[in-house]
Amino acid sequence: MTALKEKRISIVGVPMNLGADRLGVDLGPVAIRYAGVKGRLERLGYDFEDRGDIQVVRPENARDAKSNLKYLDEVVRVNTELCNSVADIMSEGRFPLVLGGDHSIAIGTIAGVLQHKKNLGVIWFDAHGDINTAETSPSGNIHGMPVAVALGLGHERLIGIGGAENKLNPKNIVLIGSRDLDSGERKLLKELGVTVFTMHEVDLIGMPKVMEEAIRVASDGTDGVHVSFDMDAMDPFYATGTGTRVAGGLSYRESHLALELIAQAGIMTSAEFVEVNPLIDNKNETAETAVALMDSLLGGWLL
């Protein structure tokens, strides 16, 4: 089974931990490469291209006097470069697969896709809502803000990446696996009408029903769907090497089934896998799991 019409994939790594302010996730791209992503995707018949990593520089000070957001200047610079890289990949008719890095890199990925797909849906696998702004964030960590930024909410410099006019419609965003939401996030998600499948819904109705509805919502009237998979969506038993672990997450098979169903739907424009932290992993198992999930998302099938 092939998930993409054009069997050409370009990966780009973003070794950034500044959005999470936690060492280790910057090693995610190299860990995923070491886990064999190239061979896995070539076995699926894809023309595979590795465009290397975007350079990330860690500033001496986390905050400046103008903002309570950590490492704002560098996060903006890196995501602007990523936006341009993703847009270039899509200009060449290739599928962008972004390797994180913390989840703040989704700001640049989505901004880049929006240069080509003006009506974009998003399926967002994550234990967290990632829809904080500077006003609601308890930490000032930008990896908790990419959904808000993609909707046009938050700091003007983050919103401006890729153009303030290029933003998502909340009716086409679906969050899956949520189980740790800040109070400001809960309020905003309800106000905007974002579709959220918490672990309660996953347990209650099962992953097939969740994905049937998620695919319907994300693809309704859109030009395609971006898939963003944070490894902390999974239960820590299956993904030890991720930075913000929350018990009670998706199982290994639930995660694969969800991505297999997206592949079968044939709706994808782009994807990213983030928050792999080999410093706290067991023999690179979480990176290997990420590669296996990519296989399922991109059309790997047993028979």
CATH number of the domain that 104 lies in? 3.40.800.10
Domain boundaries, position 100: 8-297
pTM to 2 decimal places: 0.97
**Residues known to be catalytic:** 103, 126, 128, 130, 143, 230, 232, 275
| Per-residue tens of pLDDT for the chain, all 303 residues | 557 878 999 999 999 999 998 899 999 999 999 999 999 999 999 999 999 999 999 988 888 667 889 999 999 999 999 999 999 999 999 999 999 999 999 999 999 999 999 999 999 999 999 999 989 998 999 999 999 999 999 999 999 999 999 999 999 999 999 999 999 999 999 999 999 999 999 999 999 999 999 999 999 999 999 999 999 999 999 999 998 999 999 999 999 999 999 999 999 999 999 999 999 999 999 999 999 999 999 999 876
Q: Is residue 214, in this structure, part of any structural domain at all?
A: yes
Q: Is residue 1, in this structure, part of any structural domain at all?
A: no
Q: Is residue 230, in this structure, part of any structural domain at all?
A: yes
Three-state SS string over the chain comes to: CCCCCCCEEEEEEECCCCCCCCCCHHHHHHHHHHCCHHHHHHHCCCEEEEEEECCCCCCCCCCCCCCCCCCHHHHHHHHHHHHHHHHHHHHCCCEEEEEECCHHHHHHHHHHHCCCCCCEEEEEECCECCCCCCCCCCCCCHHHCHHHHHCCCCCHHHHCCCCCCCCCCHHHEEEEEECECCHHHHHHHHHHCCEEEEHHHHHHHCHHHHHHHHHHHHHCCCCEEEEEEEHHHECCCCCCCCCCCCCCCECHHHHHHHHHHHHHHCCEEEEEEECCCHHHCCCCHHHHHHHHHHHHHCCCCCC
Q: In the chain, how many domains are there?
A: 1
Q: Is residue 302, in this structure, part of any structural domain at all?
A: no
Q: Is residue 2, in this structure, part of any structural domain at all?
A: no
